[in-house]
Structure formats: structure tokens, C-alpha cells
Amino acid sequence: MQKNDFQKALVQARAVGEKRKFVQKFDLVVNLRDIDLKQNENQKDLFVVLPFSKGKPVKVCAIVGPELTASAKTNMDAVVTTEEFPVFLQEKKKIRKLAQSCDFFVAQANIMPEIAKVFGRVLGPRGKMPNPKAGCVVPPNANLKPLVDKLRKTVKLSIKTQLSVKAMVGSEQMPDAEVLENIMTVYEAIVKALPSEVDNVRSVLIKRTMSPPVKVGAA
């Protein structure tokens, strides 16, 4: 499949289906084959930084000590300080509400054991514990602004339980050129992570939220 195939499928995906009263998002779906997901080495968590926005506001929460509190309050959408940990320990529903409202969590590295103890049981099963692979575990003197900017254009991809990967890659309000670049970035990252690369790709689809999928490379 060439970039031109993706471009044709994107144009078609924009055209099919009914017009909705809300802004639909574009999803890329990559269906896989011939991978044994029971083997740990084949299970992947990928964090891919898109060249453009993914078409949806991304909220980032910082869990920090006093060293990063001021910077976090300036740059983050939500902030939890160590002083607030006892409240969250007593009221687990506060953690669940936070987990629901935020997409990424950034942690100050030297308090990670405490963070795991307070937040791990809620954030862990949701796949939202601060992840070093995404740059979300930071030193007490970290510059948070560039990290937040990066996370707002980051998509998390999991190849673990299903032979299919789905990612939001833009919205119908975005120009085709931007959505296409996001699509290619995600597709190439997935292919690179597969044991046999493109030979492990069964099919690729592009769709809008409420519209039928279009197969990339279809005649």
C-alpha cells in the first residue's frame, strides 16, 4: 500500500455515510495476521507522536511534589500534589473521576512508589499509570511545557489482546493533508513494531465515527 492508496481511501471515507450534527473523528484501523499474542515479545504498547492534532482535546494531569507544583499548575489541565494524597486514599471515587477526565498522567519520579500505592489500583487497569515510554515519569526539575505539547499529539496503541489496532487520527474539520500525515505516521509506527512488518498486516480501514469503513487499497 502506497501513500496514494491512503489518500484515496481518506477522500472516500469523507464522502460516504450521512452528515451528522456533530464533528466526526477519523479512525485508522489496522487488522493483523500471523502473530501469536500469547508470546510476550509480540505484545506492544506504542506511544506515537502525531505531526498534527488528533482532532480531540487531550487532557494531561500531573501528580507531583512541591518541586513541580507551580510549573504543573501553569501547564497542566489537572494537578494532584502529595499533600492531597490522604484525601484520594479516603475517597477512591475522586481517583476514578480523575481517571475518566484525563488522558495522560505525568508523575514526578521520586514519588512514584507513593503514586503507585495511592493511584495504582484505579489507573493501572485503565492503562493510565504514568508511563516512562511516553516520557510521563519526570525528574523534579523537569520542563513540563514541551512534554504537555507532545502528549496532546500522542496516541497510545496497544497490540496485546486483539489482532487489530485502532487509533484516532483527526477530525473532519481538519484538512485532508493533515489527517493523511497523521494516518501515515501511525501506520508506519505499527508496521515497524510488527515481527514481520507489512506481512503481518491483513487489511487497513479508514472511517469516520458514525460512517462505514473504507478499505485502503481496494479497487
Q: Which of 136, 151, 166 is the last residue of a domain?
A: 151
Domain CATH number, residue 142? 3.40.50.790
Say what the pLDDT of residue 114 is.
96
pLDDT band of 17, cuts 50, 70, 90: confident
pLDDT tens-digit readout, 87-146: 999 888 999 999 999 999 999 999 999 999 999 999 999 999 999 999 999 999 999 999
Whether 164 and 147 share a structural domain = no
Q: Summarize pLDDT for 46-85 with one digit per residue, the tens.
A: 999 999 998 888 999 999 999 999 999 999 999 999 999 9
Where is the domain boundary, 151, 170, 185? Answer: 151
- CATH number for the domain that contains residue 15: 3.30.190.20
Q: Are residue 66 and residue 146 in the same domain, yes or no?
A: yes
| 116 closest CA partner among 141, 88, 135, 79 | 88
Q: CA distances (Å), 216 to each of 37, 73, 101, 211, 213, in order?
A: 25, 43, 33, 15, 9
Answer yes or no: do 26 and 70 share one domain. no
Residues 114, 128 within the same domain = yes
Cβ atoms 180, 6 nearer than 8 A: yes
Residues 78 and 141 in one domain: yes
Domain end among 108, 128, 151: 151
Number of domains in the chain: 2
Cα angle for residues 5, 8, 196 (degrees, 5° grid): 25
pLDDT mean over 139-163: 94
Q: Quick one: 110 and 164 in the same domain? A: no
In the three-class reduction of DSSP (H, G, I as helix; E, B as strand; rest coil), residue 51 is classed as: coil
Full domain range(s) for residue 202? 3-55+155-215
Sequence length of the chain is 219
The CA distance from 132 to 45, in Å, is 11
For 129, the grid coordinates are 499509570
Q: Quick one: 69 and 133 in the same domain?
A: yes
